[in-house]
Amino acid sequence: MAQYCLLGIGNRVRGDDGAGSILASRFRHDDWISIDAGPMPENFTGMIKKSGARVLVIADACDLGRPPGTFMRIQPSTLSRGNGFGTHTSPMSLFIDYLEKYVRDIIFIGIQPGDLSIEEGLSPGVEDAIQRLMEILKNREFEAIPSGP
């Protein structure tokens, strides 16, 4: 059983919106399960619960009002409870509320997108952020992720 679970969210055909998805598809490390949820994270709750992970890291592109590639740790309690979150079908706060029953710690990482046009691939700043985040996650240096709004 993995102690850590990375859930990457995003739509790869919308450029940098695919940042979380691409991070999860590339990331491999001992004691981690990595799930590329694409734009539908709610379809993977069963897999997360079965993983037995104590720590769930969720990565997704979101507007932080910062330069492209900036990433921040966002407190789940501050996420919107509106009718949706980004391009996803249900609010991220509800998704996290549900998973808190099964995972000890949940860390949400927002990645500032630059280009959201209809094309695959990441802008240079977001590509660099993905590389830095993989190193942080491998070393479990969660405190190296700056806290956000």
Tell me the domain boundaries of the chain: 4-144
Confidence of residue 90 (pLDDT cuts 50, 70, 90): low
Q: Would you say residue 83 has pLDDT above 50?
A: no
pTM for this prediction: 0.92
pLDDT at 82: 44
Do the beta carbons of residue 140 and residue 131 sit within 8 Å? no
Architecture of domain 4-144: 3-Layer(aba) Sandwich (3.40)
Burial 100-129 (b: 16+ CB within 10 A, else e): eeebeebbbbbbbbbbbeeeeebbebbeeb
Percentage of the chain beyond pLDDT 90 is 82
